Chain A
Amino acid sequence: MVASSSSLKLQDLIQEIREAKTQAQEREVIQKECAHIRASFRDGDPLHRHRQLAKLLYVHMLGYPAHFGQMECLKLIASPRFTDKRVGYLGAMLLLDERQDAHLLITNSIKNDLSQGIQAVQGLALCTLSATGSAEMCRDLATEVEKLLLQPSAYVRKKAVLTAVHMIRKVPELSNIFLPPCAQLLHEHHHGVLLGTIMLITELCERSPAALKHFRKMVPQLVHILRTLVTTGYSTEHSISGVSDPFLQVQILRLLRILGRNHEESSETMNDLLAQVATNTDTSRNAGNAVLFETVLTIMDIRSAAGLRVLAVNILGRFLLNSDRNIRYVALTSLLRLVQSDHSAVQRHRPTVVECLREPDGSLSRRALELSLALVNSSNVRAMTQELQGFLESCPPDLQADCASGILLAAERFAPTKRWHIDTTLRVLMTAGTHVRDDAVANLTQLIGGAQELHAYSVRRLYSALAEDISQQPLVQVAAWCIGEYGDLLLEGSCEETEPLQVEEEEVLALLERVLQSHMSLPATRGYALTALMKLSTRLRGDNNRIRQVVSVYGSCLDVELQQRAVEYNTLFRKYDHMRAAILEKIPLVERGGSQADEEAKESKETAQLSEAAPVPTEPQASKLLDLLDLLDGPSGDAQHPPPLDPTPGGALIHLLNLPCAPPPPAPIPNLKVFEREGLQLNLSFVRPPGTRTLLLITVTATNTSGGDVTHFICQAAVPKSFQLQLQAPSGDTVPAQGGLPTTQLLRILNPKKAPLRLKLRLTYNHFGQSVQEIFEVNNLPVETWQ
């Protein structure tokens, strides 16, 4: 029974496997067969071993485990019969890669076989060595291989050369062994050996600069070889669709590229040849195109003459017009590489590139998109953006994100007018709103805010866009913000640049409410809408009942952020109505990424936007929005992305986060004690950082030597108009009694005009059950603080 299945030939096994109808059946057949094979290996039958191994290899190729055949490979390799050796070496190549322990054991067999003298056997051994030779094996057998490089038989030489290539890849130090024979091997006539030699030289040059220098001397010889290839006529042996040995040509060109890179002299020698190849190659078939492509790559990489580079770009342009998509793909990829260095030459082909945008093929359109974005410059920006926006509307979703950000970037860099910029951004948001980058909203609001003359225009357009579609979140956010800011302009009714749009107050309010209630709106969007409604309460002339209603409804909303805003706004309506107009004034333009713009002392102003003030992520939330002596970084205004705040119900809106202050740098300026009352002491220490002449860092330290704790401690500061002040979060709001840990707070003062510093401090705290408020000016400020 065992005998009969062990003599199952490979073909029969394959037949059986093919007859299996399902995966499970196939697995069954294979498992049964593997069991037989394993048994046969155990029995050690030498006659049929190769057959078993052949079957095992087939099974391995299908994906089943075959590691138990490894030792059999070794036995087969060691056997004197050729059939055995053949299957053995094949098995070794497939099963015995470097990770297996048995790998090294074949070294000896290979060594013996290499010195044997029978070509076929040597061929097998070389094959295996080149496929799976490990570093140690290569080192051991390098000299053997080198001897075989100069054997009379071309078959062996070819394999030896390829093995040498593998060895160099594994163990670059062996290059000194393989360097000398190369010169002689270049005189080969046999193309196989020649190809291998070229590869060997390529590997040597890539890995060692010394070899590179050595082989540069051979450039004329290589040029000669290539020229003969190109100019000789048709040779049946090597011709592929009319081009003689394109593989060899391509390889030589690649080597020339490596040799000519950054080397004037070699590049010069090659110039003529490259021009010749470029013009003589027949481009009607793929083989010719492959050679041409390699030529172009080489021209681009070496120090070629300007004329040659233009020739290369033109060839690529011709490729672009070819109907074969492969060629167009290849051309687009290379043009992308070229666009940095030869921008003007590539510009000439811009119309064709734009054509390729309309390709249905995914790889092509992606390349075309990248290339088009790289080609946008100030003169063609309008036309290109038009094309790109057309593309944006029809392209697959994965490309939309790239396209959208590309268009926005190009618009930023090259926008001819602000209005065009706003229009373009709007259009992108309307088409691909969900795929734009996060800061697109910020950028757009920045842009609109800055373009005063376009406020009316932008608010109208945004209103109409919003009225049509409230699903694209970035668009809705910007529109809500704009309507809130410039609502009065919207209702005025006349604007030269768009058609007259008669908008009623009620419509505007209804729209914003819709946004608030829609389940498509993100929480951030709702925040924008709520704030916009609030701002409209001052801008619109009608009464505010509707707005007040909405705001109070959201006071019990589940979303904490919204709830907080609603409650604050409610408070604004109820208790601080007199401040409402001032607080909800138009936002002054914030510098992008800059520090907070600053203040008038003692004037209430709108809570400013929180831009990238990273060192001040969250600030103590003032409970009352009044008495703004200075900058309070409360994000209850239009934060672009409101930072997460601790939840508080209704009333007390004080958040103090215990952020550790940065330790103050050593202060050569003497400290100043500015305040003392009932054991609570306030000290100021000053630092002028050496880099900036206008910056002053003040650390306010509060210490408490009394018996009772000081709680709810808030320190605020005010400076004259020309200064800029930044208050960072204090280390805590409680100064513990009996000389406990003092509270510190850092003030940053920018003094660009180098005016004399005046500082006013306001303290509020609870001490001994009483609430205390103190306002005083700091006298005796040392001169070094502002000079």
Chain B
Amino acid sequence: MIKFFLMVNKQGQTRLSKYYEHVEINKRTLLETEVIKSCLSRSSEQCSFIEYKDFKLIYRQYAALFIVVGVNDTENEMAIYEFIHNFVEVLDDYFSRVSELDVSFFSAVNQVFHSTWQRTG
């Protein structure tokens, strides 16, 4: 099951966040900084799956933006990896060559749109 879905840039600013389980608001920022720290410290040679506390993080980097999905044990990591890419491709189609700016400006629209994916995990 997907626990959360984040789009965070390299400076640590959250562009999009969707939590599928209740997390306190102050814990969210903490979680996001920790997650981005662990993703940033990986080189391009290392694999995209990190074990973090009791869930797994699957991340993918697109230019300066990191898309991180947190899942629990039952998920197929590679399917999620593919799902992230699928999502980016859809965004690309929708915004015709999406960039981080688009993501941050249309974040509200993104929310609606993103919720149509719901919890496909």
A-side residues, CB < 8 A to B, are 10-11, 14, 18, 54, 57-58, 61-63, 65, 86-87, 90, 93-94, 97-99, 123, 127, 130-131, 159, 162, 165-166, 195, 199, 240, 246-247, 250, 254, 286-287, 289-290, 293-294, 297, 325-330, 360-364
Interface membership of B116, Cβ < 8 A: yes
Residue among A54, A162, A240, A362 making CB contact with B82, cutoff 8 Å: A240
Residue contact B14 to A328, C-beta cutoff 8 Å: no
Listed residue (B79, B81, B105, B111) with the most chain A CB atoms within 10 angstroms of its CB: B79
CB B102 to nearest CB in A, in angstroms, measures: 11
Q: How many residue-residue contacts, CB under 8 A, span A and B?
A: 109
User: Given the known A-B contacts A329-B47, A330-B78, are A63 and B108 also in contact in the complex, defined by CB atoms under 8 Å?
Assistant: no
Selected A-B contacts with CB under 8 Å, 5 pairs: A10-B108, A63-B29, A247-B120, A287-B82, A326-B81
Q: How far is the CA of A657 from the CA of B102 in the complex (A)?
A: 76
Cβ-defined partner of A364 (8 Å) among B22, B29, B47, B108 = B47
Cβ contacts under 8 Å, B14 to chain A = 61-63
| Secondary structure class of chain B's binding surface, majority of residues | helix
Please tell me if the beta carbons of A361 and B118 are within 8 angstroms of each other in the complex: no
Cβ–Cβ contact B45 & A18, under 8 A: no
Complex Cα spacing A360 to B85, Å: 26
B76 lies within 8 A of A326 (CB): no
Q: How far is the CA of A297 from the CA of B47 in the complex (A)?
A: 20
Residues of the B chain whose Cβ atoms lie less than 8 Å from the Cβ of A98: 22
- Separation in Å of the A703 CB from the closest CB of chain B? 61
- When each residue 98-121 of chain B gets 1 if its CB lies under 8 Å from chain A and 0 otherwise, what string results? 000000110110011001101110
A90-B111, A290-B76, A363-B50 as given contacts; A65 in contact with B25, CB under 8 Å: yes
B34 sits at the interface (CB 8 A) = no
Q: Are A290 and B79 in contact (CB under 8 A)?
A: yes
Contact with A along B64-93 (1 / 0, CB 8 A): 000000000000111101110110000000
Per the bound structure, the CA–CA distance linking A87 and B116 in Å amounts to 14
Among B17, B28, B85, B118, find the residue whose CB has the most chain A CB atoms closer than 10 A: B118
Q: In the complex, what distance in Å separates the CA atom of A9 from the CA atom of B116?
A: 25
**Minimum Cβ distance to chain A for residue B29 (Å):** 5
User: Which residue, B26, B45, B82, B112, has most C-beta atoms of chain A within 10 A?
Assistant: B82
Q: Which of A94, A240, A363 contacts B51 (CB 8 A)?
A: A363
B61 within 8 A of A: no
Q: How far is the CA of A327 from the CA of B48 in the complex (A)?
A: 10
Determine whether the beta carbon of B25 is less than 8 Å from that of A58: no
The answer to whether A86 and B46 touch across the interface, beta carbons within 8 angstroms, is no
Instruction: Specify which chain A residues have a CB less than 8 angstroms from the CB of B4 in the assembled complex.
Output: none
Interface string of B15-41 (1 = CB under 8 A from A): 011000010011011000000000000
Which of A94, A162, A293, A325 is in CB contact (< 8 Å) with B118?
A162
Known A-B contacts A240-B86, A360-B45, A361-B47; A293 and B76 likewise in contact (beta carbons under 8 Å): yes
CA distance A628 to B25 in the complex (A): 70
Knowing A90-B108, A363-B49 touch, does A127 contact B116 (C-beta < 8 A)?
yes
Q: Shortest CB–CB separation between residue B21 and chain A, in angstroms? A: 10
On chain A, the residues within 8 Å of B25 by CB distance are 63, 65
Do A329 and B22 contact each other (CB < 8 Å), given the known contacts A90-B111, A199-B120, A247-B82? no
Q: Which residue of chain A has the shortest Cβ distance to B115 in the bound complex?
A: A127
Measured in the bound complex, the distance between the Cα atoms of B117 and A159 in whole Å is 10
| Additional A-B contact list (11), CB under 8 Å, known A293-B78, A330-B77 | A11-B105, A62-B14, A159-B116, A165-B119, A166-B118, A286-B78, A286-B81, A326-B47, A328-B47, A363-B46, A363-B50
Chain B's closest residue to A293 (CB) is B78
Contact of B104 among A18, A57, A65 (CB under 8 A): A18
Of the candidates B28, B77, B79, the one whose C-beta lies within 8 Å of that of A246 is B79
Question: Taking beta carbons and an 8 Å cutoff, which residues of B are in contact with A?
Answer: 14, 16-17, 22, 25-26, 28-29, 45-51, 76-79, 81-83, 85-86, 104-105, 107-108, 111-112, 115-116, 118-120
Give A294's nearest chain B residue, CB to CB.
B76
Q: Is the CB of B82 within 8 A of A14?
A: no
Q: Which of A127, A286, A326 contacts B49 (CB 8 A)?
A: A326
CA distance A372 to B115 in the complex (A): 43
A250 to B105, CA, bound (A): 34
- Min CB distance B103 to A, Å, is 11
Q: Kindly state the separation between the CA atoms of A250 and B76 in the bound complex, as whole angstroms.
A: 8
Tell whether, in the assembled complex, residue A131 and residue B118 are in contact, meaning their CB atoms are under 8 Å apart: yes
A61 near B76: Cβ-Cβ < 8 Å: no
A506 to chain B, nearest CB (A): 53
Kindly list chain B residues whose C-beta atoms are within 8 Å of the C-beta of A54. Answer: 108
Question: Which of the residues B77, B107, B119 comes within 8 Å of A326, measured between beta carbons?
Answer: B77
B residues near A195, Cβ cutoff 8 Å = 120
Residues of B contacting A286 with CB < 8 Å? 78, 81-82, 85
* Chain B hits for A63, CB < 8 A: 14, 25-26, 28-29
A11 to B118, CA, bound (A): 26
In contact, B17 and A90 (Cβ under 8 angstroms): no
| Contact flag A289-B107 (CB < 8 Å), given A93-B115, A199-B120, A363-B50 | no
Q: In the complex, what residues of B have CB within 8 A of residue A130's CB?
A: 118
Contact between chains at B45 and A325 (CB < 8 Å): yes
When chains A and B are docked, how far (Å) is the Cα of A247 from the Cα of B50? 22
Report A-chain residues with C-beta under 8 Å of the C-beta of B115.
90, 93, 127, 131
- Chain A residue at minimal CB-CB distance from B108: A54
Closest residue of chain A to B51 (Cβ to Cβ) is A363
Give the shortest distance, in Å, between B20 (CB) and chain A (any CB): 8
Instruction: Kindly identify which residue among B47, B48, B50, B79 contacts A250, using a CB–CB cutoff of 8 Å.
Output: B79
Partner of A360, one of B16, B46, B116, B119: B46
Residue contact B79 to A58, C-beta cutoff 8 Å: no
Question: B45 contacts A290, CB within 8 Å?
Answer: no
B74 to chain A: closest residue by CB: A254
Contact status A61-B17, CB under 8 Å: yes
In the bound complex, residues from chain B placing their C-beta under 8 Å from that of A87 are: 108
Nearest-neighbour CB distance to chain A for B36, whole angstroms, equals 14
Q: A14-B105, A94-B111, A127-B115 are in contact. Are A326 and B48 (CB under 8 A)?
A: yes
Candidate in A63, A97, A166 with the most chain B CB atoms within 10 angstroms: A63
User: Is the beta-carbon distance between A97 and B22 smaller than 8 angstroms?
Assistant: yes
Contact A57 B108 (CB under 8 A): yes
Report which of B29, B47, B79 forms a contact with A247, defined as CB distance below 8 A: B79
Name the CB-closest residue of B to A130.
B118
Contacts of B45 in A (CB 8 A): 325, 360-361
Q: Quote the shortest CB–CB distance from B86 to chain A (angstroms).
A: 7
Residue of A nearest to B118 (CB): A162
Q: List B contacts of A93 (CB < 8 A).
A: 111, 115
Give complex CA distance A510, B120 in Å: 71
B82 touches A297 (CB 8 A): no
Per the bound structure, the CA–CA distance linking A290 and B120 in Å amounts to 15
B119 CB contacts on chain A under 8 angstroms: 162, 165-166
CA A162 to CA B117, docked complex, whole Å: 9
Residue in B closest to A17 when the chains form the complex, CB atoms: B104
CB closest residue in chain A, given B29: A63
Top 4 closest A-B pairs, CB basis? Answer: A290-B78, A325-B47, A361-B46, A329-B47
Query: Out of A61, A99, A325, A329, which one reaches B107, CB within 8 Å?
Result: A61
Report B-chain residues with C-beta under 8 Å of the C-beta of A360: 45-46
CA distance A240 to B83 in the complex (A): 10
In the complex, A62 Cα to B9 Cα: how many Å?
A: 13
Q: Which residues of A contact B50 (CB under 8 A)?
A: 363
Contact partners of A325 in chain B: CB under 8 A: 45-48
A127 surroundings in chain B (CB, below 8 A): 115-116, 118
A14: which B residues are within 8 A, CB to CB? 104-105, 107
If A65-B25, A247-B120 touch, whether A289 touches B104 (CB-CB below 8 Å) is no
Cα–Cα, bound, A292→B68 (Å): 23
Could you tell me the distance in whole angstroms from the C-beta of B69 to the nearest C-beta in chain A? 14
Cα(A497)–Cα(B15), bound, Å? 68
Cα of A247 to Cα of B82 in the assembled complex, Å:
9
Q: Which residues of chain A come closer than 8 Å to B29, judged between CB atoms?
A: 63
Smallest Cβ-Cβ distance to B58: which chain A residue:
A326
Q: How far is the CB of A197 from chain B (nearest CB, A)?
A: 13
Q: Which residues of A contact B46 (CB under 8 A)?
A: 325, 360-364
Q: Does B107 contact A297, Cβ atoms closer than 8 Å? A: no
